[in-house]
A and B are shown apart, each in its own frame.
Chain A
């Protein structure tokens, strides 16, 4: 397993936001993380990213326990996160954005040619045909193209786990399709993908496994091939579905 969370818990003061969460993600698969608002999805991602310190449990990467105490630690382990707001700079062009903060240098000056070539190769490997000009400012790109740049930025650094927080939330239909195909391609190329979404259609279109959080607890982690939409909806809304999910339904530990 590339990433394995065991018994993860996180409190904000008296509020237990995550309690005893187990999740494992392997290379080459898309694991979708679903749950209602406030179920703890974003907190879980921030714990993996090192933004929040965890209060209990362990995070194993490649089978070894790791302390992730900041985004730099996460990046060093090959974990990259694409946030909802994308964090791109409008006034910079595509290449500058991809390498922002990690520019290649040749002596004292930036190695623009090498960066442009690497950017082109990365986009090529992701079969991105929507961005023609790598030197156009990001401000002139559409929502789908921006999302593509943000994802490419995450893939550029030999990352092994890419976490996507609602990547299709603000996109139109055609752009959503492109991003979904891109997500699938990332996993097919051997990356692990943790994909957070509210849209079950999008989840079913790309996910190999579906993990459902309910009030800070992991209700179930199911194979997408064995699951139906109504089961996932029940797990999201009530934490259980038939024999699946949490034993108690009110979110209180028995």
Chain B
């Protein structure tokens, strides 16, 4: 039995080594030894193993500036494992083929007609490349659970089995995550939110969604319908049938179309625009208060057009948040804007795929 034990340990270490290189880029063996807390010879054996399987390569490395032979760098071979990532939006589909180590090998984008089915567009845009990829992940704006899109304001879907439909269109298996969760994974792994243990990403598209990731991992049930939290009972009617949803109350659709215009007008002193922004900020803060109380995140990122809204209406957002959350929940809470911006969901979808790949190696 001891034999299987060492074999398992070795497999785990191999996965850990690959994850380290994938996330943090080329490193010397000495740096790897320190980062993983493993023995030098163990690292050597693992690296040789992974080099044989084609995942890693060693290159003549960078000079450290001091005298002596430059140490060799260990790095991922991008083509050894690729992930196809797709982001579906109301009017466009974006595709990236990402290699091990995070290098984007291919990147395309195509517009979408009003009545076209995004699934067909995905099949066209991914072409033959999706078949080569070992994982394929699609980011869909809306409430997603286990491959099924329960509700999406942006796409007008309800209860659609997106993963089955994608499989039918492209002939391969797909993972489906919601756009906000994908972006959260992206910001955690490739942005600067890696210190956050419970990261909440708010995505403003046509409709508002949120995704909660714990230590950079998408969780089942982490997809949140932010836009349909009722902030004013008996208020304006929303497309979903409820009254006083956040989306309806903050006039989300007007902002989706032209947040630049609204904030610029407010900046130049348009009193009506200012008032609308203030109320939108207040409503967002109240809805966030409910989410923060329910989930207790330690960092919130305002993505999509919510970035603009937050930076222009931070005072009402934070004031409403202070009034609707408990002191111990808000004292450790950081409010930030994402660094990857528009690319976040696509990068994150790919990273979710790599997380699955590395998990399988363990």
- Using CB atoms and an 8 Å cutoff, list the residues of chain A in contact with chain B: 127, 172-174, 176-177, 180-181, 184-185, 188, 200-206, 223-230
Q: Quick one: given A184-B336, A205-B310, are A230 and B331 in contact (CB under 8 Å)?
A: no
A204 in complex: contacting residue of B267, B315, B327, CB < 8 Å = B315
Residues of A within 8 A of B339 (CB): 127
Please tell me if the beta carbons of B327 and A226 are within 8 angstroms of each other in the complex: yes
Please tell me if the beta carbons of A205 and B311 are within 8 angstroms of each other in the complex: yes
Residues of A within 8 A of B267 (CB): 172-173, 176
- The residue of chain A having its C-beta at the shortest distance from the C-beta of B308 within the complex is A177
Q: Which of B263, B312, B330, B339 has the most chain A CB atoms inside 10 A of its CB?
A: B312
B316 in complex: contacting residue of A127, A184, A229, CB < 8 Å = A229
Residues of A within 8 A of B109 (CB): none
Residues of A within 8 A of B333 (CB): 225
A172-B267, A224-B318 given. 15 additional CB < 8 A pairs? A173-B264, A176-B267, A177-B311, A181-B337, A185-B192, A188-B336, A201-B311, A202-B314, A205-B310, A205-B311, A205-B315, A225-B318, A225-B330, A226-B327, A228-B318
Residues of A within 8 A of B310 (CB): 205
- The residue of chain B having its C-beta at the shortest distance from the C-beta of A177 within the complex is B311
240-278 of chain B: CB within 8 A of chain A = 260, 263-264, 267
Q: A-B pairs with the 8 shortest C-beta distances?
A: A205-B314, A228-B319, A204-B314, A204-B315, A229-B315, A173-B267, A225-B330, A177-B311
Please tell me if the beta carbons of B327 and A180 are within 8 angstroms of each other in the complex: no
B322 within 8 Å of A by Cβ? yes
Place the interface of chain B in its size category.
Answer: 20 to 34
Residues of B within 8 A of A180 (CB): 311
A-B contact pairs, 16 of them (CB 8 A): A173-B260, A173-B264, A173-B267, A173-B312, A177-B312, A181-B311, A184-B336, A185-B192, A188-B192, A204-B317, A204-B319, A225-B322, A227-B318, A228-B322, A229-B315, A229-B318
Residues of A within 8 A of B96 (CB): none
How many angstroms from the CA of A180 to the CA of B310 in the assembled complex?
11
Q: Which of A200, A204, A224 has the most chain B CB atoms inside 10 A of its CB?
A: A204
Please tell me if the beta carbons of B311 and A230 are within 8 angstroms of each other in the complex: no
How many angstroms from the CA of A205 to the CA of B317 in the assembled complex?
9
How many angstroms from the CA of A201 to the CA of B322 in the assembled complex?
15
Please tell me if the beta carbons of A201 and B319 are within 8 angstroms of each other in the complex: no
Please tell me if the beta carbons of A226 and B322 are within 8 angstroms of each other in the complex: yes
How many angstroms from the CA of A229 to the CA of B316 in the assembled complex?
7
Q: Quick one: given A181-B337, A225-B322, are A174 and B260 in contact (CB under 8 Å)?
A: yes
Closest CB in chain B relative to A170 CB, distance in Å: 12
Closest CB in chain A relative to B216 CB, distance in Å: 18
Please tell me if the beta carbons of B264 and A225 are within 8 angstroms of each other in the complex: no
**B322-362 interface bits toward A, Cβ cutoff 8 Å, 1 = contact, 0 = none:** 11000100110100110100000000000000000000000
User: Which secondary structure characterizes the binding site on chain A?
Assistant: helix
Please tell me if the beta carbons of A225 and B331 are within 8 angstroms of each other in the complex: yes
Residues of B within 8 A of A205 (CB): 310-311, 314-315
Q: Quick one: given A181-B337, A225-B318, A225-B333, are A176 and B323 in contact (CB under 8 Å)?
A: no
Closest CB in chain A relative to B271 CB, distance in Å: 15
B288 within 8 Å of A by Cβ? no
Q: Quick one: given A173-B267, A225-B330, are A200 and B315 in contact (CB under 8 Å)?
A: yes
- The residue of chain A having its C-beta at the shortest distance from the C-beta of B341 within the complex is A129
How many angstroms from the CA of A225 to the CA of B328 in the assembled complex?
10
Q: Quick one: given A188-B192, A227-B322, are A201 and B331 in contact (CB under 8 Å)?
A: no
Q: Quick one: given A173-B264, A174-B260, are A228 and B311 in contact (CB under 8 Å)?
A: no
Residues of A within 8 A of B322 (CB): 225-228
How many angstroms from the CA of A173 to the CA of B308 in the assembled complex?
9
- The residue of chain B having its C-beta at the shortest distance from the C-beta of A199 within the complex is B315
Please tell me if the beta carbons of A203 and B315 are within 8 angstroms of each other in the complex: yes
Residues of B within 8 A of A201 (CB): 311-315
89-108 of chain B: CB within 8 A of chain A = none
Residues of A within 8 A of B336 (CB): 184, 188
Q: Quick one: given A173-B264, A225-B330, A226-B330, are A204 and B318 in contact (CB under 8 Å)?
A: yes
How many angstroms from the CA of A201 to the CA of B274 in the assembled complex?
11
Residues of A within 8 A of B330 (CB): 225-226
How many angstroms from the CA of A121 to the CA of B261 in the assembled complex?
34
How many angstroms from the CA of A202 to the CA of B312 in the assembled complex?
7
Residues of B within 8 A of A176 (CB): 267, 311
Q: Quick one: given A172-B267, A180-B311, are A229 and B319 in contact (CB under 8 Å)?
A: yes
Please tell me if the beta carbons of A173 and B263 are within 8 angstroms of each other in the complex: yes
How many angstroms from the CA of A224 to the CA of B334 in the assembled complex?
11
Q: Which of A200, A203, A228, A229 has the most chain B CB atoms inside 10 A of its CB?
A: A229
Closest CB in chain A relative to B136 CB, distance in Å: 30
How many angstroms from the CA of A226 to the CA of B333 in the assembled complex?
11
How many angstroms from the CA of A172 to the CA of B311 in the assembled complex?
13
Closest CB in chain A relative to B11 CB, distance in Å: 36
Residues of B within 8 A of A230 (CB): 319
Residues of B within 8 A of A203 (CB): 314-315
A223 in complex: contacting residue of B264, B311, B331, CB < 8 Å = B331
How many angstroms from the CA of A203 to the CA of B337 in the assembled complex?
15
How many angstroms from the CA of A166 to the CA of B307 in the assembled complex?
22
- The residue of chain A having its C-beta at the shortest distance from the C-beta of B319 within the complex is A228
Closest CB in chain A relative to B281 CB, distance in Å: 9
Closest CB in chain B relative to A118 CB, distance in Å: 14
